[in-house]
Amino acid sequence: MACCSRLVFTRILDRIAGLAGWRALLAAFALGALAALALPPVHAVPVLLLSIPGLLALLGAARGWRRAAALGFAWGWGHHLAGVYWVTHAILVDAATWWWLVPLAAPGLALPLAAFCVPPALLARALPAGWPRLLGFAGAFVLAELARGVLFTGFPWNLMGTVWAFGALPVQAASVAGVHGLSLLTLLLAGLPSLGRVRPMLAGAAVLALLAGFGAWRLADGSAVASGQPPVEVLLVQGNVQQSMKWAPEEREAIFNRYLRLTHDALTHAKRVLKPGSEILVIWPETASPFLLAQDPEARRMVAAVLSAVPATLLAGTVRADWDAAGRLERVFNSLVALDAAGEVVALYDKAHLVPFGEYMPLSGLLPVRLAAGGMDFSAGPGPVTLRAPGVPPFGALICYEVIFPGAVAPAPRPHWLVNITNDAWFGHSAGPWQHLAAARLRAVEEGLPLARAAQTGISTLFDAYGRRAGLLPLGVEGTLRVPLPAALPPPIFARTGLVLPFGLSILIVLLGFVLGRGPVGDALLA
């Protein structure tokens, strides 16, 4: 049976390798799009067993460097087009203005992302078939992922390792080598059918079993570290405010009152069921407040009227502004503000990693259109910082897509937990919010820190330091979720080494590919 299956699969790869001209490019594009099914929320990981070997087969048959580069680009374009199709939803929020961008947004974003697939393709074509090609491709692909997280402000979205983020058990290896380490392992395992032998496939199954065993062992560990403070109840508030009405002037008061009402009702219930003296922390999503909350005494008075009855502390997303001496608006920030039960500002964080075209315009003044909302770019804050608020363990704040950057989410000194506020209303009921959620789960595992996530329209949840989910407010639901704040873990390996380990492993894998593919040492090892 195994031999028969291997024969069938080999024939499929031979058919793919035999394609030429536009058919080969179309096949590469289709294989890339197929690989996107492994990403959240589908997580059809087995499709990679065809997508990656199929691409390697095409590259092995490529005549010339230009052809290999075109095939790699086509695969990357198909993969990222299918993976980020949801950006079109943001355009449809104001379709009357930006209708002409609807057919261009997702393909346009996928184009620069596809370019990162060209170097791995070129390296794969340069190496002999078998282990050398697979190792070189996998290592170079992860190096390209690492570069994608840095170049042009960085966009490490849909990293290959996120295919495992459907549960806590399969992502525990991220505590050692991060999501990029998972990417490297995923590509190596997915490429095994390209070797054309049963033994490597059996070895791959054994590796998966070992990973599952490691995950189960780690999840059974009880080494979480208490914060040294009284237990804290986290109350996530999801207003389910649609993006089309979020900034409408006539809706401001209604939106603010909605968050106050949801908070009041949840706190009233919590007061009845919790022990006296329990610390309660309320979290509102990114820009939940339609007012300049940190600078609006009346809005803070209304918040205090709700918080003081318990009492509780509020972390709220809001816009913050600076004015010059003449009273002119100088800067605006996308911020998180912490208010105590009296409505006083006790902590503040300004988003540091801004979204190009969404929060600021690159090459300002040179582009013919302005896509960023409002008449002024947001200003960037100084960067990650550990915040403190009365009765709350020290925490790190991440606004929106700041959570997608591995190795860059935990400030020093190390916080006890992380909070991610976001507004995914831009992307509707699409794969985007689920992909964002997967990134948050991975950051919790990498850093060994609980992570609370409050989203405007969902998905709101809390992950413990192992990436286990405690409750869920799904997409498109108005409501609240109250869960105890879990303890942190001692810093895992990735939290101590950051991106150094996956970078070093990827370099070693590429070098091993060259050793196996070139010279007497490789011939001896392959003999």
Helix, strand or coil, per DSSP, at residue 274: coil
pLDDT of residue 244: 74
Helical (H) or strand (E) element with 455? strand 451-455
Active site residue 279: no
Sign, CA dihedral 390-400-89-370, equals positive
Active site residue 4: no
Q: In what order do the strands lie in the sheet with 232-238?
A: 345-350, 329-339, 313-323, 279-283, 232-238, 479-484
- Give exposure, 375-401, as e/b (b: 16+ Cβ within 10 Å): eebbbbbeebbbbebebbbbbbbbbbb
DSSP for 186-231 reads HHHHHTGGGG--HHHHHHHHHHHHHHHHHHHHHHT---PBP-SS--
Written as tens digits, the pLDDT of the chain (527 aa) is: 555 556 677 888 989 999 999 999 999 999 999 999 999 999 999 999 999 999 999 999 999 999 999 999 999 999 999 999 998 887 877 777 777 777 888 999 999 999 999 999 999 999 999 999 999 999 999 999 999 999 988 999 999 999 999 999 999 999 999 999 999 999 999 999 999 888 999 999 999 999 999 999 999 986 777 666 678 999 999 999 988 787 788 888 999 999 999 999 999 999 888 888 789 999 999 999 988 999 999 999 999 999 998 899 999 999 999 888 877 888 999 999 999 999 999 999 999 988 887 777 776 655 555 555 556 788 888 989 999 998 899 999 999 999 999 999 999 999 999 999 999 988 888 999 999 999 999 999 999 999 999 999 989 999 999 999 999 999 999 999 999 999 999 999 999 999 999 999 999 999 999 999 875 444 443 44
DSSP letter at 160 equals G
pLDDT of residue 526: 44
pLDDT of residue 237: 98
Can you tell me the distance from the alpha carbon of 192 to that of 395, in angstroms, rounded to the nearest whole number?
42
| Global pTM value | 0.93
Can you tell me the distance from the alpha carbon of 73 to that of 122, in angstroms, rounded to the nearest whole number?
10
The set of residues, in sequence order, having a beta carbon less than 8 Å from that of 476 and lying 6+ positions away, is 240, 429, 457, 458
Residue type, 198: V
Q: In what order do the strands lie in the sheet with 460-463?
A: 386-389, 392-399, 417-422, 451-455, 460-463, 469-473
Six-digit token string for 417: 């937990």
The residue count for the chain:
527
The set of residues, in sequence order, having a beta carbon less than 8 Å from that of 50 and lying 6+ positions away, is 12, 31, 34, 193
Can you tell me the distance from the alpha carbon of 479 to that of 459, in angstroms, rounded to the nearest whole number?
11
Active-site position among 233, 279, 286, 446: 286
pLDDT of residue 368: 52
Nearest to 294 by CA among 254, 255, 332: 332
Q: Is 371 exposed, middle or buried (0-12, 13-18, 19+ CB in 10 A)?
A: middle
Six-digit token string for 419: 């909070």
| Strands 386-389 and 469-473, sheet pairing | unpaired
CATH class of 232-490: alpha beta
Active-site position among 117, 351, 359, 402: 351
Active site residue 3: no
Given the structure tokens 């095409």, which residue do they identify? 58
pLDDT of residue 363: 65
Given a contact cutoff of 8 angstroms between Cβ atoms, the answer to whether 133 and 123 are in contact is no
pLDDT of residue 373: 55
Active-site position among 145, 279, 359, 400: 400
* Sequence spans of domains, the chain: 2-221, 232-490
